[in-house]
């Protein structure tokens, strides 16, 4: 066990403890918000595997969340001819798998695209999903614009908090195992140089579609969990903007950093809802009034902060923190591997 | 029987014939050189052999297998590893991870420990072990070339394709490289096929040299024979 591993494992155990105890100290409303943070955290973990590690951009992950959400809605409700009426939590993994399969299949056309073109192709998914859900032809499954009512009554904040974090933490560990192993390394090789990856035996079609599949699985689970507190889902429960917000969350948290996704999720959840008040509280001290309740202020603040992150920390908040920490831990992490005592063959 | 055989291989890019019915054979255990003026088709030949380019005509075989039926990512598993003219490393990955990717074709899931041991061993063979945890980006060009060589060697190839291994190296490094190529053939019992502009290097390490000019093969032989060949002299000095 390396020192780096012990530090990470220790930090993880502390984080789990803090997450378990936190609801004792906060209001039920805050717990509800932090439960939603766990949902975004899951979605960002998946998107980061795809974009941060495999280097494939997606502006369509809101659509995979939508597929997960609709799967859960269809399986739990007594709507239409298909009344499975399953337990909603039991449908979450199924929702993940359905979204994962769609994501995997979407990976095939995506193979021919890169960069801006891939961004647009995935964006098309995000644009198409609400319209598809609304369409008359699919209304028998999706409920059209009236949506689907879920059987569960609005849950308490604590309930949602614990449920969502119970999904999020194992999925974080899973993502970590994927990223640090052979699969994650192959993903990064694809990101860094496709030509060298192929020449090293990595099949681009296989690894790109698998990356899309894994990341859509995460989005599907997140979308299913998001359906539960909303108690009913409509085409606009998963709007186009959601896909863009997810990508900004990954960038703010730090491309490639899994723990950074918690920061990205907090950013997504709180900047628009609470950010303006926080900013006003600071500005009050210098006597500036930004009229924080005016419409548009949250979006402008979101935009400005995103810009600030892009300009000051290209590797996200996680990258910024890591740079600070590395000054302290450089000697531990980057100690050279001891040269072998026996002379190398070169000198022999 | 030859280890690698190209039989009338042709490859065009638009109107340019990069390889014009090129045939050549490389025997097991040989160090073979491929030379020719700029644009002669040398790198194209490597890209065809590693299946990055599909040829427009001709046949390719490796150890008796038809390479045209092999997918590009399976080439390294068959035993053909390569380096690139301008170095194709995974820059934001560590040196060790770069080499571990090279072991990808040989190790399945669960072979991680073994792969790491072999990667480290290969790194120390090339005197790179102390850089294992460093990201590839930022290392000097000559070092990057060695890392690339380590990544190719860790796949335990039967045939090693080196695309301008001396490119960008200084005089001393080229001298070192000569010895290294010979030692690698010995220690890894590998056949070496190299594209090179550095004449002194090719002529001193190669058993046989093949010469391309404008996509056509114009000569083949021992270094001494090739040096005397009038067609080769003309290609290099101009008519």
Taking the Cβ of residue B90 and every Cβ of chain A, the question of whether any pair is shorter than 8 Å is answered with yes
**Where in chain B are the domains?**
1-79+157-239, 87-155
Is the pLDDT at B84 greater than 80? The verdict is yes
pLDDT at A84: 75
Contact B133, A337 (CB under 8 A): yes
Q: Do B101 and A200 touch (CB under 8 A)?
A: yes
Q: List CB contacts (< 8 A) between A188 and chain B.
A: 90, 92-93, 97
- CA dist., res. B84 & res. A278, Å (int): 54
| Model pLDDT, residue A338 | 46
Closest CB to B125: pick one of A183, A196, A344: A344
A105-135 per-position pLDDT tens digit: 999 988 889 889 999 999 999 999 999 999 9
pLDDT of residue A227: 95
pLDDT above 60 (res B165): yes
Query: Measured between beta carbons, which residues in chain A are less than 8 angstroms from residue B187?
Result: 345
Interface contact B126-A346, CB threshold 8 A: yes
Hey, are the CB atoms on B130 and A337 less than 8 Å from each other? yes
Find the CB nearest B88 among A181, A185, A196.
A196
Greater confidence, B212 or A297?
Answer: B212
Out of B104, B120, B132, the one facing A202 most closely (by C-beta) is: B104
Confidence of residue B220 (pLDDT cuts 50, 70, 90): very high
Which H helix or E strand runs over A223? helix A204-230
* Shortest CA gap B197–chain A (Å): 22
Q: What does each of the 348 residues of chain A score in pLDDT, given as a tens digit?
A: 578 889 889 999 999 999 999 999 999 999 999 999 999 999 999 999 999 999 999 999 999 999 999 999 999 987 766 667 888 999 999 999 999 999 999 999 888 898 899 999 999 999 999 999 999 888 888 888 888 999 888 899 999 999 999 999 999 999 999 999 999 999 999 999 999 999 999 999 999 999 999 999 999 999 999 999 998 999 999 999 999 999 999 999 999 899 999 999 999 999 888 888 888 888 888 888 888 778 888 888 888 888 888 888 777 787 777 777 666 655 554 444 444 444 444 433
Q: Write down the pLDDT at residue B51.
A: 95
Q: Which residue of A has its CA nearest to B78?
A: A201
The reported pLDDT for the residue numbered B26 is 97
Position A330 scores a pLDDT of 56
Mutating which of A178, A193, A200, A202 best tests the B interface, going by the most B Cβ atoms within 10 A?
A: A200
Taking CB atoms and an 8 Å limit, are B89 and A202 in contact across chains? no
Check residue A194 and give its pLDDT.
95
- Say yes or no: ipTM exceeds 0.85: yes
**What integer pLDDT is reported at residue A312 of this predicted model?**
81
Question: How close is the nearest chain B Cα to the Cα of A329, in Å?
Answer: 14
Distance between B141 CA and the closest CA of chain A, angstroms:
17
Which residues of A fall within a CB distance of 8 Å from B88?
193, 195-196, 199
Q: Cβ separation of B52 and A345 shorter than 8 Å? A: no
Specify whether the CB–CB gap between A298 and A278 falls below 8 A: no
Q: Which of residues 135-164 of B touch A (CB under 8 A)?
A: 151, 155
Q: How far apart are CA B76 and CA B105, in angstroms?
A: 7
* Cβ–Cβ gap B130/A345 under 8 Å: no
Alpha helices (H) in chain B, listed in sequence order: 42-49, 75-78, 95-102, 112-125, 141-153, 171-188, 199-205, 223-228, 230-237
- pLDDT tens digits for B35-54? 999 889 999 999 999 999 99
Q: Which pLDDT score is estimated for B36?
A: 92
Distance between B30 CA and the closest CA of chain A, angstroms: 21
User: B172 CB near a chain A CB, below 8 Å?
Assistant: no
Nearest to A181 among B82, B84, B112 (CB): B112
How many residues are recorded in chain A? Answer: 348
Per-residue model confidence (pLDDT) at position A340: 42
Task: Report the CATH architecture of B1-79+157-239.
Answer: 3-Layer(aba) Sandwich (3.40)
The C-alpha atoms of residue A345 and residue A342 are separated, in whole angstroms, by 9
In chain A, how many H helices and how many E strands?
Answer: 15, 2
Q: How many other CB atoms sit within 10 Å of the CB of residue A328?
A: 8
- Collapsing DSSP to helix, strand or coil, B210 comes out as strand
Residue of B nearest to A348 (CA): B125
Pick the more confident residue, A109 or B183.
B183
| Residues of A with Cβ-Cβ distance to B72 under 8 angstroms | 198-199
Residue B90 has pLDDT above 90, yes or no: yes
pTM as predicted: 0.90
Local confidence band at B58 (pLDDT 50, 70, 90 cut-offs): very high
Give which of A183, A188, A199 to mutate to test B binding, by max B Cβ within 10 Å: A199
Q: Tell me which chain A residues have a C-beta less than 8 angstroms from the C-beta of B125.
A: 344-346
Which pLDDT score, from 0 to 100, does residue B207 have? Answer: 96
Q: Do A337 and B77 lie within an 8 Å CB cutoff?
A: no
| Tally: H helices and E strands in chain B | 9, 10
- B73:A203 CB<8 A: yes
Mean pLDDT score of chain B = 94
Nearest chain B residue to A206, by CA? B73
Report how far residue A299's alpha carbon sits from residue A279's, in angstroms, rounded to the nearest whole number.
13
């Amino acid at each position: 066990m390396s020192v780096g591993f012990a530090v990470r494992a220790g930090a993880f155990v502390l984080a789990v403890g803090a997450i378990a105890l936190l609801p004792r100290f906060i209001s039920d409303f805050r717990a509800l918000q932090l439960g939603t943070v766990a949902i975004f955290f899951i979605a960002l973990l998946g998107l980061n595997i795809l974009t941060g590690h495999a280097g494939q951009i997606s502006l369509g992950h809101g659509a995979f969340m939508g597929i997960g959400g609709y799967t859960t809605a269809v399986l739990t409700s007594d709507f239409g001819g298909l009344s499975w009426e399953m337990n909603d939590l039991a449908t979450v993994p199924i929702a993940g798998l359905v979204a994962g399969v769609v994501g995997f299949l979407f990976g095939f056309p995506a193979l021919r695209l890169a960069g801006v073109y891939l961004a647009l192709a995935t964006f098309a998914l995000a644009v198409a999903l609400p319209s598809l859900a609304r369409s008359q032809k699919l209304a028998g499954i999706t409920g059209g614009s009236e949506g689907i009512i879920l059987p569960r009554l609005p849950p308490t904040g604590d309930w949602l908090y614990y449920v969502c974090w119970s999904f999020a933490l194992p999925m974080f560990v899973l993502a970590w195992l994927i990223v640090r192993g052979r699969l994650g390394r192959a993903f990064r090789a694809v990101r860094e140089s496709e030509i060298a990856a192929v020449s090293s035996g990595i099949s681009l079609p296989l690894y790109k579609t698998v990356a899309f599949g894994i990341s859509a699985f995460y989005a599907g689970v997140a979308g299913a969990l998001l359906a539960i507190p909303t108690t009913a889902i409509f085409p606009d429960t998963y709007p186009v903007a959601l896909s863009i917000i997810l990508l900004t969350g990954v960038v703010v948290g730090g491309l490639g950093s899994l723990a950074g996704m918690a920061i990205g999720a907090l950013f997504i959840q709180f900047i628009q809802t609470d950010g303006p008040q926080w900013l006003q509280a600071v500005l009050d001290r210098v006597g500036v009034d930004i009229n924080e309740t005016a419409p548009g202020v949250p979006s402008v603040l979101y935009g400005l902060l995103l810009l600030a992150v892009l300009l000051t920390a290209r590797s996200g908040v996680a990258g910024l923190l890591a740079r600070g920490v590395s000054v302290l831990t450089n000697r531990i992490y980057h100690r050279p591997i001891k040269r072998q005592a026996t002379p190398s063959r070169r000198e022999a | 029987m030859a280890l690698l055989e190209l039989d009338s291989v042709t490859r065009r890019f638009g109107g340019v014939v990069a390889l014009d019915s090129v045939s050549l054979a490389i025997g097991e255990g040989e160090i073979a050189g491929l030379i020719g003026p700029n644009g002669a088709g040398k790198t194209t030949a490597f890209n065809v052999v590693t299946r990055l380019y599909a040829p427009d005509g001709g046949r390719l075989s490796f150890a008796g297998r038809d390479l045209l039926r092999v997918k590009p990512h399976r080439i390294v598993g068959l035993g053909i590893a390569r380096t690139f003219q301008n170095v194709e490393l995974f820059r934001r990955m560590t040196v060790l991870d770069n080499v571990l990717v090279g072991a990808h074709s040989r190790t399945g899931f669960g072979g991680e420990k073994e792969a790491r041991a072999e990667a480290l061993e290969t790194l120390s063979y090339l005197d790179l072990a102390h850089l294992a945890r460093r990201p590839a980006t930022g290392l000097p060009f000559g070092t990057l070339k060695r890392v690339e060589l380590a990544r190719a060697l860790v796949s335990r190839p039967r045939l090693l394709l080196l695309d301008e291994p001396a490119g960008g190296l200084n005089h001393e490094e080229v001298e070192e490289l000569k010895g290294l190529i010979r030692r690698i053939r010995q220690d890894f019992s590998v056949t070496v096929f190299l594209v090179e502009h550095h004449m002194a290097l090719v002529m001193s390490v190669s058993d046989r040299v093949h010469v391309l000019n404008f996509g056509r093969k114009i000569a083949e032989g021992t270094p001494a024979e090739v040096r005397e060949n009038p067609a080769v002299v003309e290609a290099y000095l101009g008519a």
